[in-house]
Chain A
Amino acid sequence: MTTTTPTVPQGTTSLEPGVRRGLYRTMVLIRTYEEAIRREYYADKGPGFDIGKGLVPGEMHLSAGQEPVAAGLCAHLTADDAVTATHRPHHLAIAHGVDMNAMTAEIFGRETGLGRGRGGHMHLFDPATHFSCSGIIAEGYPAALGQAFAFQRKGSDRIAVAVTGEGAANQGAFHESLNLAALWHLPVVFVVEDNDWGISVPRSASTSVPSNADRAAAYGIPGILVEDNAVEGVWSAAKDAIGRARSGGGPSLIEVHTLRLWGHFEGDAQGYRTDLAGVEGRDPLPAYRATLEADGVLVPGAADTIAREASERVESAIAAAKAAPLPDPAHATDYVFA
């Protein structure tokens, strides 16, 4: 059984203005963060581009364009709910409430980071919010099952949310996880962020069905498709799915057709990308701002205030990260075993 969530008509939503403002605020904070990290990433890679150089070395996968998924989903979660994410984790970490200073320190490889600088941007672990992510495609799904399993045994209504991209839906772990969660009726919500591209491979070249929401039926669980990267559509779909999991109704799958505004990683020339010309025009943030201003939910000046507050928060986290101590090489082999 697959239902397509209808696009929430602009201007006639039933969401409370406070909720809508909150969604916008979260998305702006995420975008501000990603733009700032992008700036820091490129600041000291030159001349040319040496990926290993600078204060933020290595690969960087930013989530600009995918803010609606994180904002709409995490609005229904508390810090006691688990979230597993991917190599592109920042939007979900921020929306789920991971401490921004500790996260940023980790991205800058500092001793005060979430992982004491050992993990970096693809391996953010925050026990306080039960947030984790990993660089191996689809491998966050099995872990979420386990967190849901533990929550269920404790008799709580806590849930686990597992997020992957659409490319991951063709990996074995994805299918095993859906089957096992359904079979054991685990309180987990599976979310697929379909941003059309698995690095350079379009969904049409990787996936045998038009939408992964259709695959949910193969495992006997509800599948919901949110087609247009609309944050309120995500919010509505997530409310249903999360409510179902919390009340003992078992797992669901939500697929959001979202947008990868930038490259797969920073430095990706995207020469393969045929839809590049239309990308800027599909940016969800200016569209949602326009909607909220038209509805009077954002009064004149409110958007600027939100932007300024976001910028202050983000720059403060970055400044703190840059001032934090580097890890001591003498302890490079610590923490292998407990």
Chain B
Amino acid sequence: MTDLLFPPLSTQRPDAEGVVTRWFVPDGEHVTAGQLVAEVQVDKVDAEVDAPADGLLRVVVAVDGIAHQGDVIGRVEPD
């Protein structure tokens, strides 16, 4: 099982609240390592999140959910 973390986007505000703006793959679907799975945002900075491994995606923080940089927003389970 591999964690999907909210990436560090703001060096000036490392504790800033961010939001998960989009999941491109629904919960339970198979993903491959490197595949674009989500988009997150802190202030006006947004970033893509790629799957860290092959497996099944589990969504931990849903769209519009608040998270901090470094938080677990999803997981990839072996399928």
Contact = CB atoms under 8 A, between A and B. Distances in A.
Does a CB–CB distance below 8 Å link A and B in the complex? yes
Interface of A: 42, 46-49, 51, 266-269, 271
A51 B19 contact: no
A48 B45 contact: no
Interface string B14-56: 0001110100000000000000000001111100000000000
A49 B64 contact: no
Contacts of B17: 46-47
A47 B42 CA distance: 9
B9 interface: yes
A48 B18 CA distance: 6
A47 B43 contact: no
A48 B19 contact: yes
A46 B42 CA distance: 10
Interface of B: 9, 17-19, 21, 41-45, 64, 66
A42 B42 CA distance: 12
B19 A42 contact: no
Contact of A267 (B19, B43, B64, B66): B43
A45 B68 CA distance: 17
Contacts of B9: 269
Contacts of A42: 43
Given A46-B17, A269-B44, 20 more contacts: A42-B43, A46-B19, A47-B19, A47-B66, A48-B18, A48-B19, A48-B21, A48-B41, A48-B42, A49-B41, A49-B43, A49-B44, A51-B44, A267-B43, A267-B44, A267-B45, A268-B44, A269-B9, A269-B45, A271-B45
Contacts of A268: 44
